Structure 1
Amino acid sequence: MAQPAALLGLEKTSLRQQAVDALRRAITSGQLAPRSPLVETELSEMLQISRGTLREAMRQLQQEGLITVGARGRLIVRHLDDKEIRDIFAVRAALESLAARELAQLPDRAPAIATLRATLDAMARAGNENLEGRIEADLEFHRTLCRLTGNETLLHSWISLEGSIRMSIMFAGLGKAVGNMDVDRHNEIVDAIDTGDADHAIQAVHTHMAWAAANLVA
């Protein structure tokens, strides 16, 4: 008996998402290097999916900033130059300083501060993991900073940058990446928020992002 259309649609969506996850992981881990051409026939065979499903997955990765259009209209893995990295961190600074201000102005900041310190503990524990694991722990801190505001538009805007953020850190190399994930530097943001001084919290985020961007492009 034929499966209901709704179930077929769900199955297709799941397959597309699996393809998105696999390609995203290959790009951000460096398995697919910057400027690498993305050949549909090869990738669809490797992933064992149809070319139509592959195209849907690659469209999503274009929206995330991991894939771009290269010469002759062919899709390639995006390469981030120094200006693009600085631009990404400038936008991050704007978003995350807004988050820090909102949290600093909470009448009861204690629950948010406790949650942020828990993510810092997780970052410290991730120090013994591989680079990808350490990056994910770092991103979780910044994602949580935005999520705790309860501002869904802010969180969505930050998430839209996540792929580019991950790439900028991953491709900078181990030494620079580790510098960006220093727990003490992140703790300065939490301490500033904890004071309840919104201006101090904003400045802490801008200082953090300026240093991080300069470190990656040095």
Structure 2
Amino acid sequence: MDALVDALRKRVLSGEIEPGAPLPEQEISALYGVARPTVREALAALVHEGILRRERNRSAYVPVITAQDLDDLMLVRRPLEDLMAQRLAGRRVPAAEAALERMASKAAGPWSELVAEHMALHEALIEAVGSPRLERLYAVLAAETRLGLVRLRETYEDRDLLVAEHRALLDAIAAGDGRAAVAEHLSHSWGAA
């Protein structure tokens, strides 16, 4: 089942399975050659992660994240990441630096891999604060953040730009200027993106 969960997650986070698209159990079972109970468990795991949604008597589906959803997500992330930047001012976070290097090495690869490293970078920064409550609050936003990043793959056609933005963010935090950098980093206007 884990292999199926990973395969479906990668397809959703790469944008291969479009937002709003249903994932009928029977089709997935036939496509991957697995039994329907295995498909049901895999879909339930992805619903639990927030990558998919399921309503009564309907197939699981990829939620549509709108520009308004992204704006609201940034509204909630800003204070959490501002707190992180305050607490980490003047420090380097080796786990975040490592995630950035992996992100740079995957810039030409599948978007889903870049999304995974982007999330690893931000999660490493949050974890470095050392607050279990901050980690839990941030984790609640993780699935929507991942789905929002799927929406942004067209915005970052030059993926090196995404890497450069995160390098600037880490450098600003290390220099003690992280709060302004976080505000800038999370202030995009998504428009039709």
State the TM bucket, normalised to the shorter chain: 0.7 to 0.9
Q: What's 2:62 paired with?
A: 77
1:201 to 154, 173, 178: 178
1:87-130 Cα distance to aligned partner (Å, 9 max, x none): 222233233222222222xxxx55x3455444433333333334
Percent of pairs with identical residues: 26
The CA deviation at 1:151 is 2.6
Task: Give the Cα separation in 2 of the matches to 1:40 and 1:157.
Answer: 32
Q: Is the 8 A contact 1:172 1:216 kept in 2?
A: no
Determine helix, strand or coil for the equivalent of 2:23.
Answer: coil
Larger radius of gyration: 1
Equivalenced residues, count: 193
Q: What's 1:140 paired with?
A: 120
Is 1:20–2:5 an aligned residue pair?
yes
Q: What's 1:171 paired with?
A: 151
User: Kindly tell me: are residues 172 and 89 of structure 1, through their superposed partners in 2, closer, same or farther at Cα, counting changes over 3 Å?
Assistant: same
Q: Is the 8 A contact 1:64 1:161 kept in 2?
A: no
Q: Is the 8 A contact 2:107 2:159 kept in 1?
A: no
Structure 2: which 5+ residue stretches go unaligned?
Answer: none
Moved more, 137-146 or 42-51: 42-51
Structure 1: which 5+ residue stretches go unaligned?
Answer: 1-14
Task: Give the Cα separation in 1 of the matches to 2:95 and 2:58.
Answer: 45
Alignment of 1:5-154 (within 5 A): 15=1, 17-69=2-54, 73-104=58-89, 110=91, 112-154=92-134
Task: Give the Cα separation in 2 of the matches to 1:97 and 1:62.
Answer: 29
The CA deviation at 1:177 is 5.6
> Which of the two has greater helix per residue?
1
Task: State the TM-score, normalized to the length of structure 2.
Answer: 0.78
Task: Give the Cα separation in 1 of the matches to 2:137 and 2:118.
Answer: 18
User: Kindly tell me: are residues 33 and 216 of structure 1, through their superposed partners in 2, closer, same or farther at Cα, counting changes over 3 Å?
Assistant: same
Q: Is the 8 A contact 1:131 1:174 kept in 2?
A: no
Q: Is the 8 A contact 1:38 1:76 kept in 2?
A: yes
Task: State the TM-score, normalized to the length of structure 1.
Answer: 0.71
User: Kindly tell me: are residues 159 and 45 of structure 1, through their superposed partners in 2, closer, same or farther at Cα, counting changes over 3 Å?
Assistant: farther
Task: Let me know the Cα RMSD of the aligned residues.
Answer: 3.0
Q: What's 1:3 paired with?
A: none
Moved more, 26-35 or 43-52: 43-52
Is 1:183–2:160 an aligned residue pair?
no
Task: Give the Cα separation in 1 of the matches to 2:141 and 2:151.
Answer: 16
